[in-house]
Structures are given as C-alpha cells and as structure tokens.
Amino acid sequence: GAAIANGQSDTGAADINTCTHCQKHFYFNGGNPTGQAPGAGQFNPGVSQCIACQVHKADSQHRQGGDANLAAQCSNLCPAGTAVEDGSPTFTQSLTQCVNCKPNFYFNGGNPTGQAPGAGQFDPTQLIANPDLANNPEVPNVSSPNGQCVACQVNKSDSQLRPGAQANLATQCNNECPTGTAIQDGAIFIYTQSISQCTFCKVDFYFNGGNPSAQNPGNGQFTPGQLIANPDAATSAQIPMVPGPNSKCVACESKKTNSQSRSGLEANLAAQCGTECPAGTLVTDGVTPTYTVSLSQCVNCKAGFYQNSNFEAGKSQCNKCAVSKTGSASVPGNSATSATQCQNDCPAGTVVDDGTSTNFVALASECTKCQANFYASKTSGFAAGTDTCTECSKKLTSGATAKVYAEATQKAQCASSTFAKFLSMSLIFISFYLL
C-alpha cells in the first residue's frame, strides 16, 4: 500500500526509503490492521505498510504516510441511516462500529422505506458492487441494503438510537394512520409497511375534500400517504413531514347507526354520517330535513312546530304544536314561538297558571284557572283545556282574581245582584225577629 513520492508506483523504486506515501484508498493505521484502533507506531518509509480502506473515497489521493489516516484516505461514513454508539454517523476504526439505526430510521430487512420487510439480517459490514460504477469508478464497492437503515415516513417524537436488529418500523417511527383513517379491514389504525396502506375512513368519519368537518367540501382527491411539510414551527425541526389533509378523514357531527369503514374515495358525508336535522327542524329552504355540509344549516322550525327557548341551529329541536295555527309556515327557529306557530288559545274564560295569559305553551291542559270575573259552571268533573268558564253577569269592582276551577264558584268570582242583597238582608231581619 506504500508508494514513492509521486504516488505512481509501489515497485521498482531505486531506494526503498523513497516509499514515503500511502496510495489512494490506503491509509496508515499506526501499525495496526484494517478495522482496529490506530496503533502508536510512526510511519517509517521503507518499513511501514499502508492498509486498504474498507470503503473507497472518491477524492482519495496519494498522501504522505504520516498524514494518510483513515478519514483522509477512506470513506468513514457509516452506511445510510446508521451510527456508532455515541450517535455519530462516522466510524473511527471499522464499519463494525456502525451498529445502530439513527433516531427516525429503521432496518427494513434490506428493503426500501414503505415496502414489506425483507428477509435480510442487519450487517453494517456487508458490501456489494457499486451499481453506479460507470459514474463513480473510484468506488467499486458500497454498503449493502442489509447494512443500511431507511428513513421513517413520519418521524416519532421519542424515537431513539437503537441497535439495527431491534430498530423496526414500530420502535423507530410514527406508524399511526392519519386522523380518521384505517387500513383496509377498517379496524386497524397502524400501518405495517407504509402510510399509503391507510386507505379507509373509520366508522363515523368521512373525507371532506381536504377541508375540516362541517365546512364545504374541498377540491382535494383522497390520497393515502400524502405527506406535507409540518406547518407547526415548534415541532417541524423534529418532525419535518406530517400527513396532508387529503390523507385524512374528519369526524361526523352526527353519527349514523349503520356507518361502516369505507374507502376514502367513497366515504362522503351522506355515506358515513347522520345528515338528519334535529327533530322538527329544516334547512333554510323550509322543506328539506337533511343538511349537506353542517348541522348549522338546520336553522328553521317546520310549519306547526315551535321553540320557545334560545334556539341554536343544529342543536335545538322544535316541538310539535298540539294544534297548528292556520297558515303556519316554516320560519327561523328564533322566530318560531308557540304564539306564532300554534293554535294555543285557552277555552273561553280560562287562563294558564299565571292567572293572566289566555295562551298555553304546549298543551291545552295548561289552562287550569277561570279568569277574574269568570266562574266554573260545572260543579265537578271539570276538564282543563276542554271546558269553559262563564262570564259573571255582575263583576266584582275590586279583589277579582283568577282561581282554579274548584275554587272559581259564582259566589267567589262574581258580585251579588241587588235582589240577592235585599233577600239576604230580609232573611237576616226575619231571623232576629223570630228570636
């Protein structure tokens, strides 16, 4: 491995002491063999030997023996994706030091990223003939795939340096399917080879053209395995690529009883989700009871339905009137009160429990009292919401109140007539006279 100063020959020198240089792709290792730690020896022209590099370096030169170390003469890069024990990607002695896969790299049995694992055993010293020798004639041999670790498609935040024989896809990489997706059986949410296996939307998830749930569908085509640059500046250095929106399925707002895991190409809103508006509500056309984008489209109460509390589109239900008001129409939920939508007049002479309102909210049976200056004409068996109260012929001038039927007698609710007062006084006078 030694050569004369011009570096052109290792034989025929007139004086062996002129063999002062190491040839290209040879290095002086302090007197120790290839692959061992450098020895303590000094290069001695005519005596010292230079030893062959394990892997050639394209720009290796003839170099004076004292300067011709491993790093200067040879490629001391570990095979792709591998590192020595301290995590460095360069070795100081031999390829045998490159025993680990780097964080976010894994050994795939000699196969490329995204393929099924090959049958190879991890061996960083294994070399093969350079398949690109025509373009790189100085490097006849390169690392075998069995000595390389391949990059994860999606990095894992806690990935570590790990021995190649233990560094598989699951230990080194994030192998979870993108949000809302699964592999073809629909029940498994981690992939075993490639993120492109995640071709189905899970139950109760749908593909919305790349847009979030409850928005108008985007124009994207479902693309299993789509990766984009991580937009999160806080994590992008560690996890540079993340699943893109066209590889994700979004959650249904409302679940469908017979929803199934379905190919992302077929998993639209109607196929995967419940699209019925809440009971008694419609979309803005006042006719359709199903939404096409979001529950928030369900803004109207049906004709003959009402909502007396604060109406929230997509969440509130509208209640059916006991009797619809003639001409009732579908109107926005905040406007659909029982007074506008329902025929809710109490029977003549009756009011609800507040004693003043002649309109019930939901049921006519809320009409439980006779109005002030009205009395129950029945003495028993009065049916709230059906029977009426009779107006007094002579009204009280003060103290008139609404009363429940049992208490709303004519005597309690109405003023006495003049004749009745005369008769009453006469009876009192006669009683005293007889005594």
Among the listed residues 370, 180, 319, 189, the one whose alpha carbon sits nearest the alpha carbon of residue 259: 180
Whether residue 291 has pLDDT greater than 70: yes
Q: How high is the pLDDT of residue 53?
A: 96
Q: Structure pTM?
A: 0.76
Predicted confidence band of residue 421 (pLDDT cuts 50, 70, 90): low
Q: What pLDDT, in 10s, does the model give residues 190-227?
A: 999 999 999 999 999 999 999 999 999 999 999 999 99
Q: Which of 243, 120, 152 is nearest to 189 (CA)?
A: 243
- Tell whether the model's pLDDT for residue 8 goes beyond 70: no
pLDDT for position 378: 86
| pLDDT, tens digit, 9 for 90 and up, residues 275-287 | 999 999 999 999 9
Q: Please report which confidence band the pLDDT of residue 294 belongs to, taking 50, 70 and 90 as the band edges.
A: very high
Tens of pLDDT, residue by residue over 353-399, are 999 999 888 788 999 999 999 999 888 889 999 999 999 999 998 99
Q: Where are the beta strands (DSSP E) in 368-407?
A: 369-370, 374-376, 389-391, 403-404
Contact 142, 127 (CB under 8 A): yes
pLDDT at 429: 59
Is the dihedral angle over the CA atoms 323, 327, 329, 331 positive or is it negative? negative
Is 70 exceeded by the pLDDT of residue 430? no
pLDDT tens digits, residue range 217-261? Answer: 999 999 999 999 999 999 999 999 999 999 999 999 999 998 899
Two tokens, residue 328: 């009732």
Average pLDDT for residues 291-305, to the nearest whole number?
Answer: 97
Contact 173, 106 (CB under 8 A): yes
- Residue 331: pLDDT band (50, 70, 90) is very high
pLDDT digits (tens, 9 = 90+) for 93-148: 999 999 999 999 999 999 999 999 999 999 999 999 999 999 999 999 999 999 99
Where residue 80 falls among pLDDT bands split at 50, 70, 90?
Answer: very high
Any long-range contacts for 188-197 (C-beta under 8 Å, 24+ apart)? 192/116, 193/114, 193/115, 193/116, 193/117, 193/169, 194/113, 194/114, 194/115, 194/153, 194/225, 195/114, 195/153, 195/154, 195/224, 195/225, 195/227, 195/243, 195/247, 196/114, 196/224, 196/225, 197/224
Q: What's the rounded Cα separation, in Å, for the pair 23 and 11?
A: 12
Let me know: does 78 contact 90? Beta carbons within 8 Å: yes
68 pLDDT higher than 80: yes
Q: What is the mean predicted confidence (pLDDT) over 65-85?
A: 97
